[in-house]
Chain A
């Protein structure tokens, strides 16, 4: 008897006991390092940009942890990195400066970069001194990423790029961008015409980021215009025409982490404190239900981390956790409003709780847009279950 349901199992994972020590160290460090950071900034967590904090984390040896020692990484396990990442998220540490670099750009450069690139970039990531942007979406290519049109043409001296990227977080202040461009305009090569490029933003002319204000007033992401931007030959990352496969690998890093269910955990902590003295049983039950969800998602997320650590490819599992995690984190602001009956407020007005609520209720719509929408994720899951 065969069961398709059994294709999707999340075996419990026990973290090695040695990681308890690391976790305690990270907690102690964060407790000190975050003194005085405003609550509302902490609630933004991996969207809060703070180069100084990232450098401190780097100095502790907690960035680029899984990157090889020979290039200046720490050669530690994916599970060790997982502990650091989840503790930072839960503490509301401002991790945006190094987030992309540590999560996906570092591993990508190690896998596909030249020796020179690895020697230059890995130590910078590890020190918390390199901020990376991701050049994927374009104005006319969102979920249908492979329809992108920004063109990289081979020239006598390297590559010339023309086109526009959009929703590029931190492009206005990042040091590097890893972008996906069309290197072959043949319309029959929708996927096979794509290649990845590593761009040193400080050394490249013809790239103009224009910040896009989000609905909450934040200015994290950008539209980035490439006008005859000239790149050296070694800017090509990996193999020409293999960009789609490489980007799929990159997205596996991007979708599988604990940030996909912990974006509002700081609010859950505040909610618990707000209701703990006075909560009626029915309120406690709803609070407890969120705790049950958090425990469940953590079990599943950790199971993915263990699969990654063992060299497996948990792309299907990651899609499931991102889809479920997003439902969990998007529901929290509404619940936090309802259980306390407080108005969300703008930054600088109202109590800390109201400001945190105001910040997260406004950014919550982005949770199901960034890194793959539920429509895309459910398509991947359905395919994994043999439906498509």
Chain B
């Protein structure tokens, strides 16, 4: 890790480690959006690490911002930090400045014909933390042309939903007044790709935290007169878990580095290959991450009182969000079919 990454990792781990214990996570699930914690997160600049320095951001690339994305998984962060990071990076690419407040990231590509001169027509548009959003950010377009759309969140109807991690995934409908629109030098489906990348990093983080809990519990809990982790079967679960966590972390980091270096232009060898590989592997890994971390914990891990579920429920939700192993596997399978058996290694090593 470089100095920037280390500094960021320390900052986010300190903040979220202090503020997001199991009691606090429980309280947030009961009481809703933690306004004070969001304010503190904003104050420390965390949602703006990928934002342009001109707009008060840190202007970092994805590799340097990776510790923040991963920490959002590690601490089961019930805030739209990742979504804000994507919105800020998009704004930076478009040369736009986002309003202050909580952003609502429209996760699906906006159809061009729903954008008029003054409004964006939404019909059940899925928006993480839509109920709390002070403004909306999305990408409209078809073919190669894309536009960044910034719209008001006022006066919309909100059908509240939560994923099984109990994070808000609301559906917004109605006419959202346009605040700004900017040409965006990216493909119209870029939110889906960036979301897949961010969820991969979060899965890596939540997997690491689940492993840490399993290691701790294995050392503390005794049966048959010795700690659980004294049993070879448990040691092998933990080793297997450690390897899978490390593998997701490795490909997610590689995808972030790839995005910084190659971008996402639709043609040629770009970072789409690594992003697809990351989300495919991350989503596939969730089965083992959750199964083994629960198995080591036994029945206590199945209770609400013990907080492993804050991680594992999110892992199950994130596995599907922004496409699962089926979708991303198919994307990679098509690349393989296109380049053929002789061509796949040059793609991997490019």
Chain A residues packing against B (C-beta within 8 Å): 1, 3-6, 8-12, 14, 23, 86, 90, 265, 268-273, 275-277, 279, 281-289, 291-300, 303, 320, 323-324, 375, 377-379, 381-382, 385-388
The reply to whether B215 and A386 contact each other, CB–CB distance below 8 Å, is yes
CB distance from A273 to the nearest CB of B (A): 4
Given the interface pairs A12-B254, A286-B329, A288-B329, the reply to whether A272 lies near B341 with Cβ below 8 Å is: yes
B236 touches A382 (CB 8 A): yes
Q: Determine the chain B residues whose CB is within 8 A of the CB of A284 once the complex forms.
A: 329-330, 333-334, 336-337
Question: Cβ of B333 and Cβ of A273 under 8 Å apart?
Answer: no
- Closest chain-A Cβ to B331's Cβ sits at a distance in Å of 6
- CB-based contact A382/B239 at 8 Å: yes
Q: Is there contact, CB below 8 Å, between B212 and A323?
A: no
The reply to whether B249 and A10 form a contact with Cβ atoms under 8 Å apart is yes
Chain B residue numbers with a CB within 8 Å of A300 are: 246-247, 250
Asked whether B236 lies within 8 Å of A269 as measured between CB atoms, the reply is no
| Smallest CB gap from B9: residue in A | A6
B349 within 8 A of A: yes
Does B335 sit within 8 A of A, measured CB to CB?
A: yes
- Distance A297 CA – B281 CA, assembled complex (angstroms): 11
Complex alpha-carbon distance, A300 and B238, angstroms: 19
Which stretch (B45-53, B143-151, B270-278) binds chain A?
B270-278
Q: Is the CB of B333 within 8 A of A5?
A: no
Which B residues are in CB contact (< 8 Å) with A292?
251, 276-278, 280-281, 284, 328-329, 332
Q: Which of B229-256 contact A (CB under 8 A)?
A: 229, 232, 235-236, 238-240, 242-247, 249-251, 253-254
Bound Cα distance A273, B218 (Å): 46
Cα distance, A101 to B330, chains bound together (Å): 41
The residues of A that contact B96 with a CB separation of less than 8 Å are none
A288 to B332, Cβ gap below 8 A?
A: yes
- Pairwise interchain contact B257-A12, C-beta atoms closer than 8 A: yes
A381 x B239 contact (CB < 8 A): yes
Contact of B229 with A387 in the complex, beta carbons under 8 Å: yes
Contact of B246 among A10, A375, A382 (CB under 8 A): A10
Residues A378 and B236 in contact, CB atoms below 8 Å apart: yes
Chain A residues near B14: list those with CB within 8 A.
Answer: 1
B219 within 8 A of A: yes
B interface majority secondary structure: helix
Give Cα A6–Cα B245 distance, bound, in whole angstroms. 10
Q: Does residue B30 face the partner (Cβ distance < 8 Å to A)? A: no
| B266 in the interface (beta carbon within 8 A) | no
- A175 CB to closest chain B CB (Å) equals 32
Q: Nearest-CB distance from A327 to chain B (Å)?
A: 9
Judged by a CB distance under 8 angstroms, whether B34 is at the interface is: no
Which residues on the A side are within 8 Å of B334 (C-beta)?
Answer: 284, 288
A34 to B: closest C-beta gap in Å? 12
Asked whether, in the complex, the Cβ of B326 is within 8 Å of the Cβ of A1, the reply is no
B102 nearest CB across to chain A (Å): 27
CB of B208 closer than 8 Å to a CB of A = yes
Task: Tell whether, in the assembled complex, residue B281 and residue A6 are in contact, meaning their CB atoms are under 8 Å apart.
Answer: no
A378 CB, nearest partner CB in chain B, Å = 4
Q: Does B191 contact A (CB under 8 A)?
A: no
List residues of chain B with CB under 8 Å of any chain A CB: 1, 13-14, 17, 63, 74, 207-209, 211-212, 215, 218-219, 229, 232, 235-236, 238-240, 242-247, 249-251, 253-254, 257, 273-274, 276-278, 280-281, 284, 325-338, 340-342, 344-345, 348-349
| Max chain B C-beta neighbours (<10 A), residue from A5, A12, A324 | A5
Q: Are A287 and B333 in contact (CB under 8 A)?
A: yes
Closest-by-CB residue of A relative to B332 is A288
A281 to B13, CA, bound (A): 41
With A4-B212, A295-B251, A324-B243 as contacts: A279 and B341 at CB distance below 8 Å: no
User: A23, B349: Cβ atoms under 8 Å?
Assistant: yes
Q: Max chain A CB contacts within 10 Å: which of B238, B336, B337, B348?
A: B336
Smallest CB gap from A378: residue in B = B239
Check if B246 sits within 8 Å of A295, measured CB to CB: no
**A285 in contact with B325 given A292-B332, A293-B281, A320-B243 (CB within 8 Å):** yes
Q: Point out the residue from B209, B232, B333, B338 that lies within 8 Å of A285, measured CB to CB.
A: B333
From the candidates A5, A272, A277, name the one contacting B209 in the complex (CB within 8 A).
A5
- Tell me whether B239 and A288 are in contact (CB under 8 A): no
B254 A5 Cβ-Cβ under 8 A: no
Separation in Å of the A223 CB from the closest CB of chain B? 30
Are A385 and B238 interface neighbours, CB within 8 A? yes
Q: Contact: B242 with A385, CB < 8 Å?
A: yes
Contact indicator B239/A279 (Cβ below 8 Å): no
Our pick among B218, B247, B328, B338 for the contact of A324 (Cβ within 8 Å) is B247
Shortest 6 CB-CB contacts between residues of A and residues of B: A284-B333, A288-B332, A288-B333, A269-B341, A285-B329, A288-B329
Which residues of chain A have C-beta atoms less than 8 A from B340's C-beta?
A: 272-273, 276
Q: What B residues does A277 contact at CB under 8 A?
A: 337
Q: Which residues of A contact B242 (CB under 8 A)?
A: 5, 8, 320, 381, 385
Q: Is B337 a contact partner of A275 (Cβ separation < 8 A)? A: yes
Q: A3-B212, A295-B273 are in contact. List 11 more A-B contacts (CB 8 A).
A: A5-B207, A276-B337, A276-B341, A284-B336, A288-B331, A291-B332, A294-B348, A324-B244, A378-B236, A381-B242, A388-B235
Minimum Cβ distance to chain A for residue B255 (Å) = 9
Q: A14 to B332: give the CA distance in the assembly, Å.
A: 22
Query: Could you tell me the distance in whole angstroms from the C-beta of A360 to the nearest C-beta in chain B?
Result: 15
Q: How far is the CB of A251 from chain B (nearest CB, A)?
A: 17
Contact of B251 with A378 in the complex, beta carbons under 8 Å:
no
Give chain A residues whose Cβ lies under 8 Å from the Cβ of B329.
284-289, 292
CB pair B229 A276 closer than 8 Å: no
